[in-house]
Structure 1
Amino acid sequence: MKVTRIGGPTVLVEWEGWRILTDPTFDPPGRTYSFGFGTTSTKTAGPAVALEDLGRIDAVLLSHHQHADNLDDAGAEVLGRAATVLTTRAGAKAITHPDIRGLAAGESTTLQAPGRPALRVTATPGRHGAPLTRPIVGPAVGFALTREGAERPGLWMTGDTVLYGALRAAVTGMRPDVMLVHVGAVKFPISGPLAYTMNARDAVELIGLVQPGVAVPAHVEGWSHFSEQEEAAARIFDAAEPPVRDRVRWAPLGEAVDLG
């Protein structure tokens, strides 16, 4: 499996002939976006891979559609190029696409294409903020992808979520080959200390529960509302006890990294 971190939550995964893109964000930097209820964020870095250089996309894993740091305007163009889009039930209702599939946590669907192994995709729980914030922030999910005939996932993308009980219960002992872990500790001045995604300490705990072969951090730079950016997160991962510390592997922006 190869992964290319493009920026923010956007990662290109090349696996067994499949080309899978997560949470596409391709707008240039400098624009400030509204996230509702008086919250805003500025995009501070552009994509490390240009839209015209992206190539074929077989499927998009869209953890949620309602926030520009997971689906911006140029990123929405990518959805039209993709053969299949997997997202939340709400996202499937809001986005027009010939093959868009909305999943709630625990629901599954199968990706199939000639000459490639079938991939079973199961949505995992996500809560994009503190308890009772879902009516404000909306739903979000992660995705676990399992190759046909395999006993455990080859890939798990956490999506934008905090660390909470239902997530712990669903993924403890999952042991995917590769885990894409969204961090960044999203915060806004209007809601003070409340975080809307995990920080690196949360991710360390989650990695310890999940036991992936490799954990690749994402959603950790490129936006002003990420209160814990890459350098700060890296210090925490570096200070973690083994085996968690040894499982974390950073993918340099724009570089295809072969994870085996």
Structure 2
Amino acid sequence: MATKPSITIDPSKKQPPTRDHPEPSSLKQHLPPAKSTTSHPTKTTENNASLFFVGTATTILEWEGLRLMTDPNFLHAGDHVHLGPGVQGTRQTNPAVDLHDLPNIDLVLLSHYHADHFDQEVEASLRRDLPIITTPHAHKHLANKGHGESFTAVHAVDAWENMFVNVNAGTTSGAKPGIHVTGMPGKHVGDGLLAKANDILGAVPPTNGWMLELGYSDSSNVNFECGYRIYISGDTLYVSDLEKIPEMYTHAGKPIDLMLIHLGGTTIPGPHMPLLMVTMDAKQGLQLVKLIQPELTIPIHYDDYDVFMSPLADFKAEMTKAGFDDKVVYLDRGDQFEFEVRGGKST
């Protein structure tokens, strides 16, 4: 796997997430209070990290002072997004927090350049020096928008490539927090002729999943030890490329603590004319759970737009039938999941 240059994030340098936001001194310090907070359903943990579900595939991870945001989409009910040639989606829900009410965001993790994951308001408003880790395809679009509009801190990480994010958190133990980010495979269009046609036409953008390994290095900034591993599926169907993931992690003694799975059975042009499904439905979602074998699964990206054909209730039914009710946590928009990143208490 190719390793990209590392970056360093200093969460103490509070900066507005958007370029038209008030001065940092008036920046909100916290996310809104969670409607509901949950943690591991069967284990007692000393939680030091949290995941706030905003809506769609937008989550905000908070750990060691760092705020990492995934796939920012902050449109409201009735707003439209462009999803491909002649294809439009209409949002059905509101985000748990508005874009311009966000506290400081230190890093964005973007699975692909699609408007329901990086909407037009987000693209226009985010501050241009906000670090973004994303696909080479999205990097090309975001970093080449012209003078004054280009994003200046975009990092391209393709499937199986990786990079390290150092977090200057000022821990007293001497342990240094960081995140090892590895691109995971994903395909909006399944294996076969349709995939080859899409590669030529470029109608549906290439997409990544991600493996996030949160952990600590020693005081000399070496010997990184993962304390919590999160797999984010991204917008993908169940394809053969995914079968390499457990070989690299679960079967290699690197268990996956949490999977954020993108569901919904997204259809193009929509459920009224479901010609092509581009994200997993409930049955494919269960298939992925069985493949990855995470300690816990949290479904996201399941009902926010009118292009979803497979409701969350279908996935719940599949998980119950498989006997996995103790292996899943369900979050509504505005809910929070708390967890423990192990390590960091000594040098």
TM normalised by structure 2 equals 0.68
Q: Is the 8 A contact 2:81 2:119 kept in 1?
A: no
Q: Which residue of 2 aligns with 1:258?
A: 338
Instruction: Show CA shifts across 1:191-220 (max 9, x none).
Output: 735310011221212112212221110000
Q: Structure 1: which 5+ residue stretches go unaligned?
A: none
Q: Is the 8 A contact 1:26 1:75 kept in 2?
A: yes
Q: Which residue of 1 aligns with 2:188?
A: 128
The question of 1:103 aligning with 2:157 is answered yes
Q: State the shift of 1:169 in Å.
A: 1.6
Look up the SS of the partner of 2:96 in the other structure: coil
1:35 is aligned, of 66, 83, 96, to 83
Q: Is the 8 A contact 1:9 1:219 kept in 2?
A: yes
1:138 is aligned, of 199, 205, 222, to 205
1:198 is aligned, of 277, 280, 286, to 280
Q: Which residue of 2 aligns with 1:158?
A: 233
- Matches of 1:12 and 1:59, distance apart in 2: 10
Instruction: Show CA shifts across 1:44-67 (max 9, x none).
Output: 1121122233212111110001x2
- Matches of 2:330 and 2:128, distance apart in 1: 28
Identity %: 29
Q: Which residue of 1 aligns with 2:106?
A: 58
Q: Is the 8 A contact 2:50 2:62 kept in 1?
A: yes
Q: Which residue of 2 aligns with 1:168?
A: 243
Q: State the shift of 1:248 in Å.
A: 1.1
Letter in 1 for 2:331: A
- Matches of 1:123 and 1:136, distance apart in 2: 22
Q: State the shift of 1:185 in Å.
A: 0.6
The count of aligned residue pairs is 257
- Matches of 2:129 and 2:328, distance apart in 1: 29
Larger CA Rg, structure 1 vs 2: 2
Q: State the shift of 1:256 in Å.
A: 2.0
Look up the SS of the partner of 1:112 in the other structure: strand
Q: State the shift of 1:23 in Å.
A: 0.4
The question of 1:118 aligning with 2:198 is answered no
Q: Structure 2: which 5+ residue stretches go unaligned?
A: 1-48, 143-149, 170-175, 217-223, 341-347
- Matches of 1:167 and 1:82, distance apart in 2: 33
Q: State the shift of 1:124 in Å.
A: 0.3
The question of 1:87 aligning with 2:134 is answered yes
The question of 1:75 aligning with 2:135 is answered no
Look up the SS of the partner of 2:315 in the other structure: helix
2:316 is aligned, of 234, 250, 257, to 234
- Matches of 2:128 and 2:98, distance apart in 1: 15
Q: State the shift of 1:166 in Å.
A: 0.7
Look up the SS of the partner of 1:194 in the other structure: strand
- Matches of 2:153 and 2:269, distance apart in 1: 38
Instruction: Show CA shifts across 1:200-241 (max 9, x none).
Output: 221212112212221110000110001112233323333223
- Matches of 1:211 and 1:21, distance apart in 2: 25
- Matches of 1:4 and 1:54, distance apart in 2: 12
Letter in 2 for 1:110: F
- Matches of 2:84 and 2:275, distance apart in 1: 18
- Matches of 1:227 and 1:208, distance apart in 2: 22
Look up the SS of the partner of 2:318 in the other structure: helix
Aligned-residue RMSD, C-alpha: 2.2
- Matches of 2:60 and 2:135, distance apart in 1: 20
- Matches of 1:25 and 1:72, distance apart in 2: 5
- Matches of 2:50 and 2:321, distance apart in 1: 26
Q: Is the 8 A contact 1:20 1:60 kept in 2?
A: yes
